[in-house]
Amino acid sequence: MNLKPILTGDDSPTLFSERFGEHYHSTSMGAHSESLHKHILPPLLVHPEWLNRSKIKILDICFGLGYNTLATLALYRQKGFKGIIEVHSPEMDEELLEGLLYFDYPLELGETRSFLYELIRKKRVERDGVILELFVGDAREYLRMLEGGFDIVYQDAFSPVKNPLLWTVDYFSDLRAILAEEGVVTTYTQSSAVRYSAYLAGFQVYAYENGIDRGGTLFSPSSLPLKRINLEEKRLNNPSLKALRDEDYCVN
């Protein structure tokens, strides 16, 4: 696959998906910065004690260019995390994965790239305190194969407009089933429909401001030290607010 890198605001490269008609990352904020400030740092800011755990278990939806997974490995070690980092991730574009073997990642990701090359070839890596699993196929199918106990989910699929089946009440219900009670779901979107969908699936919904751009959203079954969004009130004030459901997209 001939990848055509696009330089983003922090000088890290991303790609444009012809299939979904969107870039994989914010071109203004930057690919690496977006991974850090919208996905990797937020759970650690609300649960700083997690850095003292013996293990952290993460679901990265979807693998894409691998920034979330690789930056997680780099940042956790940088912060002195000594436990096991376990990351599971689905990705449906096998041709993209092969192309990543030649992708020019930023230097900040350092030696984590060696894990990437091994992961793409073997689909599973287990060494040096790291467990990585890559599933080539449909993310919804993968969710139903996983055992629970996930601490973090990086909800980083293409937008609800382009890829709605990874934002429905039904989908979030599947996430809720495998997430630990104190677990955290991160996402870049501030969509009211998405937030309402997650709420109906059993999540509390929180606005997250990172001080860099427009921020994002965190979902959790438990209370977080952030501003909680009252979705019932929003629904009363906006009767046209509707959740996204599988049935709206001809899925049984």
219 contacts: CB under 8 Å, gap ≥ 6: 155, 172, 184, 185, 187, 198, 203, 204, 205, 206
List beta partners, residue 55. Answer: 84
Residues above pLDDT 70, as percent of the chain: 98
Residue 65 has pLDDT above 70, yes or no: yes
* Per-residue confidence (pLDDT) for residue 111, from 0 to 100: 87
* Per-residue confidence (pLDDT) for residue 252, from 0 to 100: 57
- Judge contact between 68 and 36, C-beta under 8 A: no
Q: What is the DSSP letter of 190?
A: -
* Per-residue confidence (pLDDT) for residue 210, from 0 to 100: 84
Query: Hey, what are 192's tokens?
Result: 């009211």
- Judge contact between 216 and 38, C-beta under 8 A: yes
| Domains within the chain, CATH numbers bracketed | 30-249 (3.40.50.150)
* Per-residue confidence (pLDDT) for residue 96, from 0 to 100: 96
Rounded to 5 degrees, what angle do the CA atoms 68, 210, 23 make? 45
* Per-residue confidence (pLDDT) for residue 2, from 0 to 100: 60
Give rounded-to-5 percent helix, strand, coil for the chain: 40, 25, 40
* Per-residue confidence (pLDDT) for residue 163, from 0 to 100: 96
* Per-residue confidence (pLDDT) for residue 1, from 0 to 100: 56
Residue 247 has pLDDT above 90, yes or no: yes
Model confidence over 95-117: pLDDT tens digits? Answer: 999 999 999 999 889 889 899 99
> What pTM, to 2 d.p., does this model score?
0.96
Average pLDDT, the chain: 95
Average pLDDT over residues 41-49: 97
Residue 62: is the preceding peptide bond cis (ω within 30°)? yes
Instruction: Place 45 in a pLDDT band, splitting at 50, 70 and 90.
Output: very high
Model confidence over 117-148: pLDDT tens digits? Answer: 999 999 999 999 999 999 999 999 999 999 99
- Judge contact between 186 and 155, C-beta under 8 A: yes
Q: Is 139 left (phi over 0), alpha (psi -120 to 50) or beta?
A: alpha
Residue 109 to residues 36, 82, 106, 127, Cα–Cα distance (Å) = 11, 18, 6, 18
